[in-house]
Structure 1
Amino acid sequence: MSEPFSITPADIEAAAQRIEGHVLRTPLVPAPRLSDLTGATVLVKHENMQATASFKERGAVNKLLGLTEAERARGVIAMSAGNHAQAVAYHARRFGIPATIVMPETTPLVKVENTRAHGARVVLYGETLYESAVRARELAQAETLVFVHPYDDAAVMAGQGTIAREMLADAPDLDVLIIPLGGGGLMAGNAIAAKALKPEIELIGVEAELYPSFYNAVNAEDRPIGGATLAEGIAVKTVGEQTLPIVSSLVSDIVLVGEDLIERAVNAYASLQHSLAEGAGAAGLAAMLKEPERYRGRKVGLVLCGGNIDTRLLAAIMVRELEREDRIAAFRLTASDRPGLLGKVASLLGDHGANILEVSHGRLFLDVPAKGVTLDVTVETRGESHTRAIEDALRANGFQPRRIFPRGLAEQDR
């Protein structure tokens, strides 16, 4: 690491001493079920256990505790729509530092209220984080506030780097660290820390496929950037000026993951690791699901960097995963409209071990005889083979089943 990076291993060591007692030293937990899923030996650093459920507290605390008395008295300002906002607001209140957070006007109300609940003054401005950042800079200058950047700040980067320091203290034999990439503060700090402690360790960054900012910058490409992503915490259009040189020099590869893989990873954390992971927090596992052979037989450290996911969204993701696994299946049945029909269908499904989740009648479809009826039935099954057996049983009993997939009716029976 001979290049003149903006932080050094000594900065991270100082940050570790500074933030001790103010943030949780989160556990590095073996994940045997994730290991079975990927073929690697997986250990998970649970940053979702921090007070505000993300790693952002480390950088925020290091920055805030490094302020002079005059700066603390004037106060700080940050721009964020999520975890950085809550981390700065929460610890600024703990340290008696006035905090202002500029958030886009489109920020969900729950995040705005959570930030206000931590005692910060919230300013809603602009449609995007870029516009909020411009406004935050203006207010910082007008009110002589200290600007706390979410990633492009040496103190913030050094604070985040304490994660890898702890991981390698707990598991010195880690072969790979897979770390989500947004603006690069998390990766930059941890790359410096990890390479200082174990030069041969491999560092892999992960971006959402819709936001390949670092991928473009490092590989001189021009992939389109933008769109609705589950991993909004790493949905950054512009990489950091201080983070880019570190990532370019020390990270061996940047992997892009699609929304389906991010969903699978969130679901795997919930169902296999019994942990809440937001989309960005699950990105490292998504990279492993994309290329399991790459990590097979290796010892891999994942950073579950945040767990702030809406519970309704999590529920929807888990149901969608059950549908992908054929453990939830919907059928449209056609039959004569006669008394006892629903009871017959229910008994048939019960005899074959299916759990009925939803039923709806349809009598007005023009492709059904006037004396006919359609019955849409959604059932829970044990998997693909069980679903096919149920479909066969329905067909054998004259119900003419057609599968209904999340995207609509199957074009034809199998």
Structure 2
Amino acid sequence: MKFVKLICWGGFFSVLIFIIFEIIFRVFFPVPMEPGVSLTLNNEIPGIRNNVRYSFDGYRLRQADWDNGHEGDSIRILCFGGNATTTVFQKPEDSWWGKLADKISKTTGKNIEVGAMAKTSNGQYILPSFVNAEKIVERYDPDLIICCYGFGDTMHYNDYVYNRNKINILRKGVPRGLKYSLAKMSHVMRLMRNKKTKRYLKEIWKPLNVPNYHRDLLFRDRLYYRSCPELDNISRDVHDPLNEFIDGIRAFSDLALKQGSKLLVVGEPTIHGPKLGKDELSLMTSVYYPTKPVPGKGSGHRVRPETIDIELQRFYEAASHYCEKNGVEWINLHGVVPQTIEYFLGETDVTDIGASEIADKLMLPVTNIVNEL
């Protein structure tokens, strides 16, 4: 009998201690569903700093001048986009969104909190990015959302199939299982789960800490591009990825409306144009595959920059029309940022000077929005 009582009291106190810790973590030390990552990336590439501290939280958000309280006159801006936005080549303060926030803060006298989604494997596409962005926006409640896409969606594979319901399919692709469900309910369980996840992420991200990892990756991609036969043009049929691009803008627009945030849609700047010099042509890496990528030399076709330029113009014309029709702020930066190696270190990655140029071009429209808030 005493043994049974001992077990009961032991169980009672165990549950009580668990509840106390749960309350403490939930109120004072909330634990995200996923742990963050912090890396030091070193790439010797002209136009950027060699040493970049690249870190993001459990929601895959990089932050600059951040106040978790989000009180007073603070204006919170969240940015989503392709390589120039998720950049692994710049610290937050050197990125276009970090520089933009600093400029606007000095001009308006308001505290600008800015963040951008970190790089993901499919972050160059607007719809997969939106599914991640949705969680970030709901968590951090921004005053303004800036989305800057275009290039990635023009380069869908030749066997691409448009699915009107793709966004819901992507939403279903979230982690499941008993452990995940328990972690969603309990911050203590999250803490225990995240320890294992951190060890896993450390191994996954470990190669990126190797000096010049991204520089060498760019070099290999450029060599591979040159090994491929040239593609004359990109043909489109009923499965035009432009439809998915517009779906993505619509999704961001609906999310901003639901959240009570302003939205600015930006046509992603790239180096693609009809009259590039030899140095600029050397940055090309775009390969269009007849099917999903197959390892090996020349399994795809290299795409001429003027071909991509034509596609981007088509995409941005449609985006402009959609935004105008639906009352969404739109600005196109393609061809506005000088298409030279001084401003670009890749097809869409920008140098520090390129980041400053993007910030300058967005200064007026974003300042106008901030002043209206």
TM-score clears 0.5: no
- Structure in which a larger fraction of residues adopt strand: 1
- Structure in which a larger fraction of residues adopt helix: 2
The bucket for the TM-score relative to the shorter chain is: under 0.3
Per the normalisation by structure 1, the TM-score is 0.23
Q: Which has the higher contact order (CA 8 A, sep 6+)?
A: 2
Q: Which structure has the larger Rg?
A: 1
